[in-house]
Amino acid sequence: MQIGKELYSGKAKSVFETDDPDRLILRFRDDTSAFDGEKVAQLARKGTVNNKFNAFIMQRLEDAGIPTHFDELLSKNESVVKRLEMIPLECVVRNIAAGSLCKRLGVQEGMDLDPPTFEFFLKNDELHDPMINDYHIRSFGWATDEEVAQMKKLTFEANDALKAIFQAEGMLLVDYKLEFGRYHGRVLLGDEFTPDGCRLWDADTRKKLDKDRFRQGLGGVVEAYEEVARRLGVDLSDVNA
Ligand code: TMP
Ligand code: ASP
């Protein structure tokens, strides 16, 4: 696979063309950002840990019947993915109240949400990713009704699979964000699933093991990601190589 020109550089990943028009290379960088790019830092090993973590989870989601863009690991911090036409929406499922939900609705962090709740956000840093609903998506033509239904279905199916994966290793999946894209007429899961885009707590102590450690200045950010990865059995053998 020949790496081509850089198509796009986001806050934590860069995207490159390849010699195959249907494939891209994702490069996971050590850059970390929060609050829509307001707080940034470089965290050693994060790119490699997240690349390996994402590969592991994407494969587990495929096993659970959720179609993803993931093809294969290319290097310690790069993966080959299918080239999607991204839908500019973030799909968030919450099993436990935390983050913006608590601020917005004045509910206590840690409250169980039964059933889990679903929210759409518009992917737009300048506007601070505003929450939107299905009607906005329809009025502005960001996705078809069929795509909206498919994104909700796949995001909830992912919840069942992911909750079980983390629960088995003593962790609670508090919430997470997924992004989807179009590939030859199908909706596939794109972007990434890593502790940068979800909340994970230790089931016994409720210790935060995700990007809230960075947002809240708790320290030990990458160490927490590595702990989650190790518990799941993700191969991190060449992280320091
Ligand atoms: P929130 O509580 O800030 O709305 O975030 C909910 C979940 O979605 C949390 O796991 C973090 C994730 N998320 C992102 O990964 N990127 C984003 O831009 C936003 C708004 C949320
Ligand atoms: N992913 C967003 C950012 O980097 C929001 C966040 O994670 O707080 O700025």
Residue nearest to atom 2 of ligand 1 (CA): 99
Compute the distance between CA of residue 67 and CA of residue 73 in angstroms, rounded to an integer: 17
Query: How many whole angstroms from 175 Cα to the centroid of ligand 1?
Result: 8
Final residue of a structural domain among 33, 67, 82: 82
Q: Give pLDDT tens digits for 113-156.
A: 999 999 999 999 999 999 999 999 999 999 999 999 999 999 99
Asked if 57 and 234 touch (Cβ cutoff 8 Å), the reply is no
Compute the distance between CA of residue 124 and CA of residue 132 in angstroms, rounded to an integer: 12
Ligand nearest to the CA of 36: 2
Please report the beta strands in 97-192, taking only residues with DSSP state E, as ranges in sequence order: 112-122, 131-132, 171-178, 180-183, 186-189
Q: Examine residue 225 and state whether it is found in any structural domain, yes or no.
A: no
Average of per-residue pLDDT across 224-237 = 97
Residue nearest to atom 14 of ligand 1 (CA): 197
Q: Give pLDDT tens digits for 179-203.
A: 999 999 999 999 999 999 999 999 9
Query: What is the separation of C-alpha 25 from the centre of its chain, rounded to a whole number of angstroms?
Result: 17
Q: Give pLDDT tens digits for 156-171.
A: 999 999 999 999 999 9
Query: How many whole angstroms from 12 Cα to the centroid of ligand 2?
Result: 10
92: exposed, middle or buried (Cβ count in 10 Å: 0-12, 13-18, 19+):
buried
Q: Give pLDDT tens digits for 71-110.
A: 999 999 999 999 999 999 999 999 999 999 999 999 999 9
Compute the distance between CA of residue 210 and CA of residue 135 in angstroms, rounded to an integer: 32
Residue nearest to atom 9 of ligand 2 (CA): 36
Q: What is the pLDDT of residue 71?
A: 98
Q: The CATH number of the domain where 176 resides is what?
A: 3.30.470.20
91 shares its domain with 8: no
Q: Is the CB of 235 under 6 A from ligand 2?
A: no
pTM over 0.85? The answer is yes
Choosing from 9, 11, 174 the residue with most ligand 2 atoms within 8 A of its CB, the one to mutate for a pocket test is 11
Compute the distance between CA of residue 107 and CA of residue 73 in angstroms, rounded to an integer: 40
Residues found in the chain? 241
Query: How many whole angstroms from 2 Cα to the centroid of ligand 2?
Result: 31
Q: What is the pLDDT of residue 1?
A: 83
Domain limits for position 63: 3-82
Give the total number of structural domains in the chain: 2
Q: Which residues line ligand 1 (CB under 6 A)?
A: 90, 92, 99-101, 121, 129, 175-177, 197-199
Ligand 1, residue 175: give the atom nearest the CA. Answer: 10
Residue nearest to atom 7 of ligand 2 (CA): 34
100 shares its domain with 169: yes
Query: How many whole angstroms from 20 Cα to the centroid of ligand 2?
Result: 31
Phi, psi for residue 138 in degrees, rounded to 5:
-70, -50
The set of residues, in sequence order, having a beta carbon less than 8 Å from that of 177 and lying 6+ positions away, is 90, 91, 92, 121, 197, 198
Query: How many whole angstroms from 39 Cα to the centroid of ligand 1?
Result: 15
Ligand nearest to the CA of 102: 1
Residue 175 above 80 pLDDT? yes
Query: How many whole angstroms from 176 Cα to the centroid of ligand 1?
Result: 7
Q: What is the pLDDT of residue 190?
A: 98
Q: Give pLDDT tens digits for 29-77.
A: 999 999 989 999 999 999 999 999 999 999 999 999 999 999 999 999 9
65 shares its domain with 135: no
For residue 19, CA distances in Å to 4, 194, 240 come to 7, 27, 30
Three-class DSSP category at 64 = coil
Q: Is the CB of 36 under 6 A from ligand 2?
A: yes
Q: The CATH number of the domain where 39 resides is what?
A: 3.30.200.20
58 shares its domain with 98: no
Shortest CA distance to 97 belongs to which of 125, 117, 122, 67?
117
